[in-house]
Amino acid sequence: MNILGIDIGGSGIKGALIDAANGEMLTDRLRIPTPQPSSPTEVIKVVKQLVDHFEYTGPLGVGIPSIVINGVVLSAANIDDRWINFPGREGIAQATGCPVTLMNDADVAGFAEMRFGAGRGEDGVVMIFTLGTGIGSCMFVHGQIVPNLELGHIYLPRRKHDAEYYASDRARKDGELSWKKWAKRLNEYFAYIEALFSPELLIIGGGVSKKYEEFAPYLKTRARVVPAQLRNEAGIIGAATAVMSKQ
């Protein structure tokens, strides 16, 4: 089934047609800068623009950097606070005329990675972290997702900060940290994660996954750690895959 997947981010909104059965992109992705301010009205206009560009009328999968429960957006990470408590699924559906599956962006990326990427065939507890401007997170237990974890916002008692303030790729860049020094921060974060959830596999995604070999030698975790395979396409592919999971 060919499905349009859309990935809403803090800096860009991306979409492409996906063969949801095998995770292949059937078109080049189209990226449109996220409007500022990124209010629901303005972001939905861009989503509608993507739907029109692809001349699409079927079920639509959308990932958004927020907690989403029953189609309602309950938080706003790197998007405008007016999204909080906004009926996102209904708003996008009304604007586009498409039935909409709306989920947390890290969750949809996790669907893609588990089905078509580094998590394929893995059982047990698998956790996926997208390291970029913030930290996106998701967890699968025996192939079933535990949604809306948002572990980038977990409080690190020793640092008195959210994890993404301390260990995201933006923190690395802002602090001009070497890969070794940044990996030390990741080790501290992952040690806390392991104490809470005891994962068997950690998958690292996000833009920094392209530089995985630079910091991988310094990672010290009990769980196996591997780079994500789908990288920047995971959100789009996963949004389309999430539609299939709901049917």
- Residue 134 is predicted with a pLDDT of 86
Distance CA 237, CA 117 (A): 11
The DSSP element (H or E) to which 60 belongs, if any, is: strand 60-64
Q: Tell me if 114 is assigned to some domain.
A: no
By the 10 Å C-beta count (0-12 exposed, 13-18 middle, 19+ buried), 28 is classed as: exposed
Distance CA 163, CA 171 (A): 10
Indicate whether 60 and 140 sit together in one domain.
no
Indicate whether 98 and 190 sit together in one domain.
no
Mean pLDDT of the region 55-69: 96
Q: Tell me if 129 is assigned to some domain.
A: yes
In the structure, what pLDDT confidence band is assigned to residue 177 with cuts at 50, 70 and 90?
very high
42-51, 52-61, 188-197, 236-245 — which is least confidently predicted?
A: 236-245
Mean pLDDT of the region 184-200: 97
Distance CA 247, CA 236 (A): 18
Q: What's the pLDDT tens digit per position in 193-229?
A: 999 999 999 999 988 998 999 999 999 999 999 999 9
Tokens coding 60: 């639509």
Kindly provide the residue ranges of all beta strands, DSSP E only, lying in the chain, ordered along the sequence: 2-8, 12-19, 24-25, 30-33, 60-64, 68-69, 72-73, 100-104, 125-131, 135-141, 144-146, 155-156, 161-162, 201-205, 224-227
Q: What's the pLDDT tens digit per position in 106-141?
A: 999 999 999 999 999 999 999 999 998 889 999 999
Indicate whether 145 and 197 sit together in one domain.
yes
Cis-peptide, bond into residue 37, ω within 30° of zero: yes
Residue whose C-alpha is closest to residue 189's, from 210, 177, 204, 174: 204
Indicate whether 191 and 103 sit together in one domain.
no
Domain ranges, residue 126: 121-228
CA distances to 36, 217, 243 from 246, in Å:
32, 39, 5
Indicate whether 190 and 237 sit together in one domain.
no
Mean pLDDT of the chain: 94
- Residue 82 is predicted with a pLDDT of 98
Indicate whether 223 and 238 sit together in one domain.
no
Q: Tell me if 166 is assigned to some domain.
A: yes
- Residue 78 is predicted with a pLDDT of 82
Indicate whether 6 and 32 sit together in one domain.
yes
Mean pLDDT of the region 40-57: 98
Question: Residues near 96 by Cβ (< 8 Å), separated by ≥ 6?
Answer: 47, 48, 51, 60
In the predicted model, is pLDDT for residue 54 greater than 70? yes
Q: What's the pLDDT tens digit per position in 9-26?
A: 888 999 999 999 999 999
Tokens coding 101: 């599956």
The residues pairing with 225 across neighbouring beta strands, listed in sequence order, are: 202
In the structure, what pLDDT confidence band is assigned to residue 247 with cuts at 50, 70 and 90?
low
Indicate whether 238 and 215 sit together in one domain.
no
The DSSP element (H or E) to which 205 belongs, if any, is: strand 201-205
How many domains in the chain? Answer: 2
Task: Specify the CATH number for the domain of residue 160.
Answer: 3.30.420.40
